[in-house]
Chains A and B, each alone.
Chain A
Amino acid sequence: MPKIQSINLNLWYGDFLALKDVNANFAEKKITAIIGPSGCGKSTLLRVFNRMNDLIEGVRMTGEVLIDGMDIIDAKIDLVTLRKKVGMVFQRPNPFPLSIYENIVFGLKVHALNKDNLEETVKQSLSSVLLWDELKDKLNKSALSLSLEQRQRLCIARLIAVKPDILLMDEPCSALDPQATQKIEELMRELKNNYTIIIVTHNMQQAARVSDDTGFMLLGELVEFGKTDDIFTKPKDKRTEDYITGRYG
């Protein structure tokens, strides 16, 4: 069974139809990339999966989005539980102006999770983003003293501490240089052994490098969805071909 299923999903911002009848299955413990030009709806789709769009006034959705078979569009869903299960990483790393240690345990406090063994949780979370060896002696230092790439890793570690199933990444490398980008991509490959990852990216080479599946969106429509190998070598839809070969526009 797919981890996430989007069935006939439509989303409006007021009168504007931003997602048009989106149907897709997102596989468990795989990386799925969503690509498309600015304003195509890819970040909107990503934010559906943890209901972040609810923060925007006038948003309305129809259709179904099932995570592990449960419809998360249902008004009765507990958003705090949903967002613990479905974590999000943003374009610019946004650690809290607290110590590295406090950043990691912050989520545990918010979600009122078991606070025993905090040291162990911090160690495990930082290890899973390959930061433990670098930072184990600096846990009380401010998170703002870290490099951009380390901050982004720390933000991922902060999510991992609350044990999510799904990581949503919205342009996670757009503020990083090529070397830092490569490190985050390596980390994503490690993380997919344990998490389902969906990444929105403008960088098609990045989508081609890291993802197992790719979806191409245009004007709110999911034009094509399939194996990354196929999308980048033999797309079926001419609009996909035009976009990935730079002929769109």
Chain B
Amino acid sequence: MERHFDDELKSLHAEILKMAALAQEAINKSVEALKNRDKAEAEEVIRKDNEIDELELKIDEKCIDLIARHQPMAGDLRFIATGMKINAELERIADLAVDIAERVSILVTQPVLKPLVDIPKLSTIAQNMVRGSIDAFIKKDVALARQVVLSDPEADKLRDLVQDELINDYISRDAKTADRAVPLLLIARHLERICDHATNIAEDVIYMVEAKVVKHHIEELE
């Protein structure tokens, strides 16, 4: 039986997808700005963040409104609860993209410290994980969500590699490189945090579809 409530859920779904598209665009642009040392692109990411913040509030309000008016149960309740959580994760992802863009704005004013090797690899993992988690949400694809969760340790490893290299090969040897090394180090941390948020989204998708809590229980996925 088709319900009026279904139209409202579809509209919430569409808003979350819009939020996901904006967050993905923010990461992609901040990563491009880093690769191309493009200050204008970095500034665009910072400027567009307001739109994402406003959409976050709108989605939150919509979820609370749906809960208050419809008292959803079962699958509907899990969808709305997950929607609220994903909304917050996407907003944090967009904030981290802004953090990256801000570091890029500083880096472009200074000479290149070193050719970037591992950071682009990490950014590719982050972009893939975010895309994967959102695809999993759209398709209710638990297998894809599992893949996303299981790829998080690779991101942690790369972040550690970047961190070790910048500290041991640059900052410890020559403190004057810190101005350029620290922003890169922070960018690696931001990218790794983006992967953590993508992991959270994927875990939320598993809960939404299967009503199974895998958060903090990675062994449940093996």
Do A and B actually bind?
A: yes
B178 at the interface (CB under 8 A from A): no
Contact A245 B72 (CB under 8 A): yes
Contact B1 A234 (CB under 8 A): no
Contact B73 A208 (CB under 8 A): yes
Contact B78 A245 (CB under 8 A): no
* Contact A247 to B71, CB < 8 A, known contacts A233-B77, A234-B78: no
Rounded to whole angstroms, the CA-CA distance of A234 and B73 in the bound complex is: 9
Rounded to whole angstroms, the CA-CA distance of A244 and B76 in the bound complex is: 10
A233 touches which of B1, B5, B71, B211 (Cβ 8 Å)? B211
**Which residues does chain B contribute within 8 Å of A16, judged by CB atoms?**
none
A117 at the interface (CB under 8 A from B): no
User: B210 — nearest CB in chain A belongs to which residue?
Assistant: A234
Rounded to whole angstroms, the CA-CA distance of A244 and B70 in the bound complex is: 12
* Contact A244 to B73, CB < 8 A, known contacts A233-B78, A233-B211, A234-B78: yes
What is the interface size of chain A, counting residues whose CB is below 8 A from a CB of the partner? 15
Question: What sequence of 0s and 1s flags, for each residue 1-36 of chain B, a beta carbon within 8 Å of any chain A beta carbon?
Answer: 101010000000000000000000000000000000
Contact B5 A246 (CB under 8 A): yes
Instruction: Name the interface residues of A199-249: CB closer than 8 Å to any CB of B.
Output: 204-205, 208, 232-235, 240-241, 244-249
Q: How many A-B residue pairs have CB under 8 A?
A: 32
**Which residues does chain A contribute within 8 Å of B75, judged by CB atoms?**
241, 245
B211 touches which of A204, A208, A234, A245 (Cβ 8 Å)? A234
**Which residues does chain A contribute within 8 Å of B5, judged by CB atoms?**
246
B40 at the interface (CB under 8 A from A): no
Q: Which of A240, A241, A247 has the most CB of B within 10 A?
A: A247
B74 at the interface (CB under 8 A from A): yes
**Which residues does chain B contribute within 8 Å of A235, judged by CB atoms?**
74
**Which residues does chain A contribute within 8 Å of B74, judged by CB atoms?**
232-235, 240-241, 244-245
Contact B78 A204 (CB under 8 A): no
Contact A204 B73 (CB under 8 A): yes
User: B211 — nearest CB in chain A belongs to which residue?
Assistant: A234
Contact A249 B1 (CB under 8 A): yes
Question: What sequence of 0s and 1s flags, for each residue 190-213 of chain B, a beta carbon within 8 Å of any chain A beta carbon?
Answer: 000000000000000000000100
Contact B3 A247 (CB under 8 A): yes
Question: What sequence of 0s and 1s flags, for each residue 162-182 of chain B, a beta carbon within 8 Å of any chain A beta carbon?
Answer: 000000000000000000000
Rounded to whole angstroms, the CA-CA distance of A180 and B211 in the bound complex is: 34
Instruction: Name the interface residues of B144-160: CB closer than 8 Å to any CB of A.
Output: none
**Which residues does chain A contribute within 8 Å of B72, judged by CB atoms?**
245
Rounded to whole angstroms, the CA-CA distance of A153 and B72 in the bound complex is: 30
User: B73 — nearest CB in chain A belongs to which residue?
Assistant: A244
Question: What sequence of 0s and 1s flags, for each residue 66-89 of chain A, a beta carbon within 8 Å of any chain B beta carbon?
Answer: 000000000000000000000000
Rounded to whole angstroms, the CA-CA distance of A232 and B71 in the bound complex is: 11
* Contact A232 to B73, CB < 8 A, known contacts A246-B3, A246-B5, A247-B1: yes
Rounded to whole angstroms, the CA-CA distance of A154 and B1 in the bound complex is: 42
Contact B77 A205 (CB under 8 A): no
Rounded to whole angstroms, the CA-CA distance of A235 and B73 in the bound complex is: 10
**Which residues does chain B contribute within 8 Å of A247, judged by CB atoms?**
1, 3
Rounded to whole angstroms, the CA-CA distance of A205 and B68 in the bound complex is: 12
Distance from A221 Cβ to chain B, minimum over Cβ atoms (Å): 19
Instruction: Name the interface residues of A25-50: CB closer than 8 Å to any CB of B.
Output: none
Rounded to whole angstroms, the CA-CA distance of A246 and B71 in the bound complex is: 11
Distance from A215 Cβ to chain B, minimum over Cβ atoms (Å): 15
Rounded to whole angstroms, the CA-CA distance of A30 and B213 in the bound complex is: 27
User: A244 — nearest CB in chain B belongs to which residue?
Assistant: B73
**Which residues does chain B contribute within 8 Å of A240, judged by CB atoms?**
74
Contact A245 B73 (CB under 8 A): yes
Contacts from A to B (Cβ < 8 Å): 204-205, 208, 232-235, 240-241, 244-249
Question: Which 3 pairs from chain A and chain B are nearest by CB?
Answer: A234-B211, A244-B73, A241-B74
Can you report 27 residue pairs joining A to B where beta carbons are below 8 Å apart? A205-B71, A208-B73, A232-B73, A232-B74, A232-B77, A233-B73, A233-B74, A233-B77, A233-B78, A233-B211, A234-B74, A234-B78, A235-B74, A241-B74, A241-B75, A244-B73, A244-B74, A245-B72, A245-B73, A245-B74, A245-B75, A246-B1, A246-B3, A246-B5, A247-B1, A247-B3, A249-B1
Q: A232-B77, A233-B78, A245-B72 are in contact. List 4 more A-B contacts (CB 8 A).
A: A232-B74, A233-B74, A234-B211, A246-B1
